[in-house]
């Protein structure tokens, strides 16, 4: 076996799991509105069990209905009525020889309680959520302890293999552990051991009631408050590694069977759920240090995407296993592919954070259109019978359509005018620290070759050449083109460029004054590439704030990376005119300003490039337009459109 350490069994208390890979918990919004496990959720988890993962930890699971809710569509163990569906979940995972823990959870201050207040150790509000809080009485904490214990009892009765106590990422149990959020003077506050008392009581209560039932502790070993994007009160350092080691050493003897080590809270969410720029395994050292202090299995997490890395972490004795969450969304067969030597077939997570941004819609993945929809996309028809299909454009939509059509048995020819696959995601991989975006092209390159798709690069889609292929159907994924408004004087001048020209390397600017018009993520990432080329930057946007419409996690990350270059920001300004050596902008009050500049980058969005599609419709009966050529969207929309249209095409 290629990865003998990664795929060796491991004991967690009385349970033996088949390998060292844990699918980390992620809120997924797939439960029924009454918090029972849905068929959709069972299909989602069963797919990961079938994919070979050693242990699945389900999403945050409610132990309290009064103030312990995260969302309406959230798993719950607050009542015996939830046991039958939990058993269905356990049975589905066990059918594929997998194991599953339920993650027992209370959000504390990190939620919204409609018509009420958040329960907390000491009334310290979340700077992200900013919802009113109250400090729990000693009696209320004791009641919460019992609710965790009762939840574990229901899990065991349902045949669930064990429980994970969620004391990470700033939720309730983490709030008790942290000196930042726990200022109590009763038995649940004070020293690290007293702050950990609530967990000790939960663990001993489960042990007394259920015997050797497996218990795993998830902990944020460092809250990284010094990296907060919100103002943290002076002298508040939060929970740091040294105290976390002390706490874990204290708790393990009471009955903790394994420790799952993470980091961060909502104020430092990028340290918990990292944007694309964070390197693989950056926080493994936290688990490594905790492993040195305890004699139970310790799992490490931190943007782990590649089996080679996971194998080395375990082989070097840094951890006993690895926790992979988003990677399991991108490819439920990650383990089976790695174990059988098909590493090149793994569809790797690109850390785009689509899953975080759209979690309220129900779990989904930008690069895997089946994630969260396994119950629906469950009968791919292999009925292509060798009929020829032409796909035009090798961006995300075209690549996914070509792959899916080939899996259905069509004879696929993929035409791409450039010398590479990827389209916009290839351009997206060009800015600093965004190499992961290029993984999409690598994956499709591998799979299209294995499926014998005829990929023709350097091949513009000429009508006569398409006709020679005599296609049964044509899929048009010609993407988009940048918007360059002709109404702005000078917009077509020699000193004006689009992000595509900069990101592709067609135009290289260095040591110049450059103004970027438009501060979406594309504009900001183009600005970072330019800044690394020694250019002095100004960034202009009509919106009142920089980054309009951008999800706050990647936005805060890119602004942090731009900060050392000291760009000049001009939010709330309209571009009036571009001249050879300056631009004229106007603020909301009507005041005009001239900015000296050598070059202007117009990052004003894109529009569908669908001219060819209209011509093709005149020549062929079956023309399917997908991706940006049909409707401007993000990677998720392009990939899902390519899959959806190829899936049900006939």
Residues with catalytic function: 171
Query: Residues 272, 275, 277, CA angle at the centre, nearest 5°?
Result: 120
Burial class (CB in 10 A: 0-12, 13-18, 19+), 551: middle
Residue 638 near residue 395 (C-beta atoms within 8 A) = yes
Residue by residue, DSSP assigns 134-150 as EEPPHHHHHHHHHHHHH
Lateral strand order in the sheet of 388-392: 454-456, 411-415, 388-392, 473-476, 623-625
Q: Taken in order 627, 633, 639, 642, is the CA torsion positive or negative?
A: negative
Q: DSSP alpha helices (H): ranges in 563-630?
A: 611-617
Burial class (CB in 10 A: 0-12, 13-18, 19+), 383: exposed
Calculate the alpha carbon distances from 223 to 133, 209, 286, 344 in Å.
20, 32, 11, 35
Phi and psi (nearest 5°) for 392?
-110, 115
- Residue whose C-alpha is closest to residue 173's, from 154, 150, 201: 201
- Give dist(CA 585, CA 600) in Å, integer: 13
Residue 87 near residue 77 (C-beta atoms within 8 A) = no
- Give dist(CA 345, CA 338) in Å, integer: 9
- Give dist(CA 429, CA 436) in Å, integer: 7
- Residue whose C-alpha is closest to residue 639's, from 359, 361, 332, 369: 369
241-251 vs 284-291: helix crossing angle, rounded to 10: 40
Residue 353 near residue 554 (C-beta atoms within 8 A) = yes
Radius of gyration of the chain (CA): 26
Give the number of residues written for the chain: 650
- Give dist(CA 155, CA 122) in Å, integer: 30
């Amino acid at each position: 076996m290629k990865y003998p350490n990664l795929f060796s069994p491991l004991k967690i208390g009385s349970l033996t799991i088949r390998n060292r890979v844990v699918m980390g918990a992620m809120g997924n919004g797939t439960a029924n509105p009454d918090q029972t496990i849905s068929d959709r959720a069972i299909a989602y988890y069963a797919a990961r069990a079938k994919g070979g993962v050693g242990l699945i930890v389900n999403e945050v699971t409610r132990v309290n209905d009064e103030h312990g809710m995260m969302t309406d569509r959230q798993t719950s163990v607050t009542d015996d009525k939830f046991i039958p569906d939990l058993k269905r979940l356990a049975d589905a995972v066990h059918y594929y020889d997998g194991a599953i823990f339920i993650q027992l959870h209370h959000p504390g201050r990190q939620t919204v309680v409609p018509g009420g207040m958040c329960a907390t150790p000491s009334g310290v509000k979340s700077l992200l959520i900013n919802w009113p809080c109250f400090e729990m009485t000693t009696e209320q904490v004791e009641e919460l302890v019992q609710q965790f214990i009762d939840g574990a009892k229901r899990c065991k009765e349902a045949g669930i293999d064990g429980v994970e106590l969620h004391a990470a990422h700033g939720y309730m149990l983490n709030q008790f552990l942290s000196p930042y959020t726990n200022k109590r003077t009763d038995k649940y506050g004070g020293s690290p051991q007293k702050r950990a008392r609530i967990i000790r009581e939960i663990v001993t209560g489960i042990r007394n009631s259920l015997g050797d039932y497996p218990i795993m502790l998830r902990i944020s070993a460092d809250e990284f408050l010094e990296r907060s994007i919100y103002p943290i009160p002076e002298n508040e350092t939060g929970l740091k590694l040294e105290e976390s080691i002390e706490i874990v050493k204290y708790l393990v003897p009471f009955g903790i069977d394994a420790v799952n080590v993470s980091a961060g809270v909502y104020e430092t969410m990028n340290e918990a759920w990292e944007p694309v720029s964070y390197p693989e395994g950056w926080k493994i050292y936290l688990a490594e240090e905790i492993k040195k202090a305890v004699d139970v299995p310790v799992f490490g997490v931190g943007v782990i995407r590649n089996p080679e890395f996971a194998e080395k972490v375990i082989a070097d004795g840094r951890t006993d296993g690895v926790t992979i969450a988003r990677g399991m969304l991108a490819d439920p067969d990650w383990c089976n592919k790695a174990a059988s030597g098909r590493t090149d077939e793994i569809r790797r997570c690109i850390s785009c954070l689509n899953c975080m941004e759209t979690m309220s819609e129900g779990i989904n993945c930008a690069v895997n259109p089946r994630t969260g929809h396994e119950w629906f996309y469950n009968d791919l028809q292999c009925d292509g019978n060798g009929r020829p299909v032409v796909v035009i454009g090798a961006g995300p939509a075209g690549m996914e359509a070509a792959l899916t059509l080939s899996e259905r048995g069509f004879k696929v020819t993929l035409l791409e005018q450039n010398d590479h696959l990827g389209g916009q995601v290839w351009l997206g991989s060009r800015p600093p620290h965004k190499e992961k975006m290029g993984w999409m092209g690598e994956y499709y390159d591998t799979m299209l070759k294995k499926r014998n798709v005829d990929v023709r690069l350097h091949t513009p889609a000429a009508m006569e050449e398409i006709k020679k292929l005599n296609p049964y159907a044509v899929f048009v994924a010609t993407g988009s083109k940048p918007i360059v408004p002709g109404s702005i004087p000078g917009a077509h001048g020699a000193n004006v460029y689009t992000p595509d020209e900069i990101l592709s390397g067609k135009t290289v600017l260095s040591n110049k004054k450059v103004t970027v018009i438009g501060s979406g993520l594309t504009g900001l990432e183009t600005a970072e590439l330019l800044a690394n080329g020694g250019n002095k930057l100004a960034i202009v946007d009509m919106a009142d704030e920089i980054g309009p419409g951008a999800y706050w996690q990647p936005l805060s990350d890119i602004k942090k990376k731009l900060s050392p270059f000291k760009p000049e920001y001009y939010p709330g300004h309209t571009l009036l005119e571009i001249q050879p050596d300056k631009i004229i902008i106007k603020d909301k009050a009507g005041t005009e300003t001239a900015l000296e500049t050598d070059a202007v980058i117009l990052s004003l969005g894109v529009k569908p490039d669908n001219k060819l599609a209209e011509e093709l419709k005149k020549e062929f009966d079956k023309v399917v337009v997908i991706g940006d050529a049909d409707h401007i969207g993000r990677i998720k929309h392009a990939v899902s459109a390519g899959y959806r249209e190829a899936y049900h095409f006939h």
